[in-house]
Structure 1
Amino acid sequence: MEIMHDESRNQFRMEAEGLVAHVAYEITDGGLDIRHTIVPKPLEGRGIASALVKAAYDYAKEHGLKPVATCAYAVAWLQRHPEYNGEIGKDYCEGGSCAL
């Protein structure tokens, strides 16, 4: 799985089977906030979302940024990975949705 960082779009993305999956983020107040995670249905269940979120938060840590999650998927990911010392974004709305 090759993950690409598209800094001009604030995205980590990967392509498979002609489809694009990505996480979109914002950098504010010293944190990298994942705002939403998109994986097309035909690519679901392959660990792509997890790999994209991990790549984004690894980038954050390497650049001295705090991992922040507004996207419901990223919130759940941070809860499963407390070693990242992440936090929930102020725009997070519970219920499995993302603040777009």
Structure 2
Amino acid sequence: MAAVRDNKAQQRFELDTEGGMAFANYRLTPSAVIITHTETPRALRGRGIASDLVEGALDLIRADGNKVIAGCSFVVDYLHKHPEYADIAG
């Protein structure tokens, strides 16, 4: 599986896929990273790519010692389904 990367210049996490790039836009605050929008290429939806993207983004946020705030419904749902990230949920 491809690794999620933090494109700090564009303030988004990115995941390359066979059919394009999935990404999650974010905003930084002094206390947290707010994920505002996730997007997966239309042809690739329903394959778990957005979940892989969010998992990788959360791992990067945790590694940086930050908290996350879910600013889009997909991330809200993901955090509800994955209590292992409760420690960084803001």
In the TM superposition, what is the alpha-carbon distance from 1:29 to its structure 2 partner?
3.2
Q: How does 1:1-100 map to 2 (within 5 A)?
A: 1-2=1-2, 3-85=4-86, 86-87=89-90
Structure 1: distance between partners of 2:16 and 2:74: 19
Q: Normalising by the residue count of structure 2, what TM-score does the alignment of the two structures yield? A: 0.85
The answer for unaligned runs of 5 or more in structure 1 is: 88-100
**How many residues matched?**
87
Instruction: State the distance in 2 between where 1:18 and 1:46 align.
Output: 12
Cα distance in 2 for residues equivalent to 1:32 and 1:84:
14
Moved over 3 A (4+): none
Q: Between the two proteins, what is the percent identity of the paired residues?
A: 37
**Matches of 1:18 and 1:83, distance apart in 2:** 30
Structure 1 counterpart of 2:5, which letter?
A: M
* C-alpha displacement of 1:21: 1.2
Q: CA RMSD in A?
A: 1.5
Whole-angstrom distance in 2 between the partners of 1:15 and 1:59: 16
TM-score, L = length of structure 1: 0.77
Q: Tell me, in whole angstroms, the C-alpha distance in 2 between the residues paired with 1:10 and 1:21.
A: 14
SS at match of 2:24: strand
